[in-house]
């Protein structure tokens, strides 16, 4: 079992302290507010949360949980410190870090007089880059020690919902953390070893980003559901029933396939149906700011890809894929066809490798090039072999992913500009001649 100190007896700190003590760890909670310290030492919760009073009282009586205002004493008598202080919004919308900075400074001061290895783990919600740009420099400067060598560092965001926090702690949907050193990583793994949820160990800034993404995604889902509910009501429909049935579909509606950053959406369904639903809403006098922004954001993603090609410096483009997705010859509202049209209109030479579209033309199918009124002379622009496309292009533009193209394109990216809208391989990141649209 671990000896853990927790800085901040607020919502996250109080719940974490109670649950960790319940798990058998020795926990010392720290706060600058003497009244919170007194309450916790009496086994009383400083906040209202279902089940918290029972856990606190039981573990204070067991001697596993105590509280103090003395940071130095808490750090001296524990092996790992969780910083759980608040990060409210500043006036202009940025995150306010005063409490985090003070906590880091206080813990670092305590580290100066400690001879044994100690890990410092942030749990506060902080924007990407805060650990590396703010927290670690303060910890090193004040302590005079080197992070990752003389003391451990980690970031371990929480995903607790008020009202169900204790259940969320023991039945998590997501466990994410980052660590500079193996000792801190091992402690965090051990703390979560009995939980059924797998641990995702990622870089510091990625863990910070995941926390903000999680909260923003929840906010977006609520906003979307509300907008659908408003439209449904204007049509005399029960919006809650609509969303209940939709959420039962984990093959398409709730699929992670659509949560993969990349290029714009297109095809014969999504663009026209979003437009149609907006039209229904506007007829009923219902505003649709979220659906409006969906279409605007989609257009911006096409512009983003266009700018990446412009910035590559090439004038001859070899495009991989032009249908709205791989495995079909359907060009109806294909964002790749729109992108190709824009590039051609601005003087770029363009050749295309798309086996499905090429087969449709070769077979003289009635729907060959269906929906395509954007790309002039498309049939003549199609090439049969990916090697031919690579040889003739200054810049390669990958819109759809075909297995046979992955290795040739990856090799070509070593010496030739490549703009990737689909991600050829998970290990590829922007750098050198390679540019990923979202990675």
Residue 80 sits in a domain of what CATH number? 3.40.50.720
Residue 58 annotated as lining a ligand binding site: no
Is 416 within any annotated ligand binding site?
Answer: no
pLDDT of residue 373: 74
Q: What is the pLDDT of residue 139?
A: 98
pLDDT at 374: 85
Is residue 262 annotated as involved in ligand binding?
A: yes
* pLDDT tens-digit series, residues 217-262: 999 999 999 999 999 999 999 999 999 999 999 899 888 888 899 9
Which residues partner with 147 through β-bridges? Answer: 151
Is 185 annotated among the ligand-binding residues?
no
427 and 313, same structural domain?
yes
Q: Is residue 413 located within the same domain as residue 383?
A: yes
Mean pLDDT of 28-53: 96
What pLDDT shows up at residue 49? 94
If you average pLDDT over residues 374-391, what whole number do you get? 94
Q: Which of 250, 277, 307 is the last residue of a domain?
A: 250
Tell me, yes or no, whether 80 and 9 share the same domain.
Answer: yes
Q: Is the domain of 318 the same as that of 432?
A: yes
Question: Crossing angle of helices 98-111/136-143, nearest 10°?
Answer: 40
% of residues, the chain, pLDDT over 70 = 98
Domain boundary among the residues 163, 186, 202 is at: 202
Q: What is the pLDDT of residue 101?
A: 98
38: which 2 tokens?
């007194």
Is 371 within the bounds of a domain? Answer: yes
- Could you tell me if 312 and 229 lie in one domain? no
Range of the domain at 334: 297-436
Q: Is residue 288 part of a domain?
A: no
Same domain, 58 and 147: yes
Say if residues 29 and 12 touch (Cβ distance below 8 Å).
Answer: no
Please list the active-site residues: 269
51 and 189 share a domain?
Answer: yes
Is residue 112 included in any domain, yes or no?
yes
170 and 225 co-located in one domain: no
How many domains, in total, are found in the chain? 3
Report the chain's mean pLDDT, rounded to a whole number: 95
Q: In what order do the strands lie in the sheet with 316-320?
A: 349-353, 316-320, 395-398, 417-420, 434-436
Is 184 annotated as a binding-site member? no
pLDDT at 314 over 60: yes
Element (H, E) at 91: none
What is residue 349's predicted lDDT score, i.e. its pLDDT?
97
CA dihedral 415→420→425→428, nearest 10 degrees, is 60
Whether residue 270 is contained in a domain is answered as no
Two tokens at 407?
């290795």
Spatial contact of 212 and 127, defined as CB atoms under 8 Å apart: yes
Taking only the tens place, the pLDDT of each residue in 166-224 is 999 999 999 999 999 999 999 999 999 999 999 999 999 999 999 999 999 999 999 99
Going by pLDDT thresholds of 50, 70 and 90, the confidence category of residue 369 is low
Q: Is residue 108 part of a domain?
A: yes
Helices (H), 192-317: 204-234, 239-246, 270-283, 289-312
Q: Is the pLDDT of residue 427 over 70?
A: yes
Own/partner pairs, 290-294, CB within 8 angstroms, 24+ separation: 290/220, 290/223, 290/224, 290/227, 291/227
316 and 370 within one domain: yes
| pLDDT at residue number 270 | 92
Residue 198 is given by DSSP the state P
Is 283 annotated to bind ligand? no
The reply to whether 160 sits in an annotated binding site is: yes
Q: Are 187 and 209 part of one and the same domain?
A: no
Count CB atoms within 10 A of the CB of residue 48. Answer: 10
């Amino acid at each position: 079992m671990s000896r853990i100190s927790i800085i901040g007896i607020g919502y996250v700190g109080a719940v974490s302290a109670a649950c960790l003590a319940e798990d058998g760890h020795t926990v010392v909670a720290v706060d600058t507010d003497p009244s919170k310290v007194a309450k916790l030492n009496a086994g009383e919760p400083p906040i209202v949360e279902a089940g918290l009073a029972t856990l606190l009282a039981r573990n204070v009586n067991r001697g596993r949980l105590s509280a103090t205002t003395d940071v130095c004493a808490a750090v001296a008598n524990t092996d790992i410190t969780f910083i759980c202080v608040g990060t409210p919004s500043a006036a202009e919308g940025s995150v306010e870090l005063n409490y985090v900075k003070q906590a880091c400074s206080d813990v670092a001061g305590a580290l100066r007089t400690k001879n044994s290895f100690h890990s410092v783990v942030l749990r506060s919600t902080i924007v990407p880059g805060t650990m590396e740009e703010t927290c670690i420099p303060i910890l090193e400067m004040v302590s005079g020690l080197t992070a990752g060598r003389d003391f451990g560092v980690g970031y371990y965001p929480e995903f607790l919902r008020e009202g169900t926090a204790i259940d969320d702690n023991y039945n998590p949907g997501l466990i994410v953390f980052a660590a500079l050193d193996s000792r801190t990583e091992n402690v965090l793994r051990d703390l979560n070893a009995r939980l059924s949820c797998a641990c995702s160990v990622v870089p510091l800034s990625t863990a910070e980003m995941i926390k903000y993404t999680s909260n923003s995604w929840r906010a977006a889902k609520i906003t979307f559901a509300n907008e659908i509910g408003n439209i449904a009501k204007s049509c005399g429909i029960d919006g809650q029933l609509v969303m209940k049935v939709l959420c039962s579909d984990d093959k398409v509606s709730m699929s992670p396939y659509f949560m993969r950053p990349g290029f714009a959406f297109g095809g014969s369904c999504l663009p026209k149906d979003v437009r149609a639903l907006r039209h229904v809403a506007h007829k009923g006098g219902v505003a649709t700011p979220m659906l409006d922004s969906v279409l605007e954001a989609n257009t911006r993603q096409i512009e983003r890809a266009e700018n990446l090609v412009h910035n590559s410096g090439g004038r001859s483009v070899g495009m991989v894929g032009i249908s709205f997705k791989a495995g079909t010859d359907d060009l109806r509202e294909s964002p790749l066809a729109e992108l190709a049209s824009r590039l051609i209109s601005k003087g770029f030479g363009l050749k295309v490798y798309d086996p499905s579209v090429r087969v449709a033309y070769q077979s003289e199918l009635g729907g060959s090039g269906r929906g395509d009124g954007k790309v002039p002379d498309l049939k003549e622009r199609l090439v049969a072999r990916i090697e031919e496309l690579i040889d003739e292009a200054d810049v390669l533009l990958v819109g759809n992913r075909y297995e046979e193209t992955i290795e040739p394109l990856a090799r070509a990216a070593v010496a030739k500009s490549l703009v990737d809208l689909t991600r050829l391989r998970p290990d590829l990141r922007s750098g050198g001649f390679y540019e990923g649209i979202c990675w």
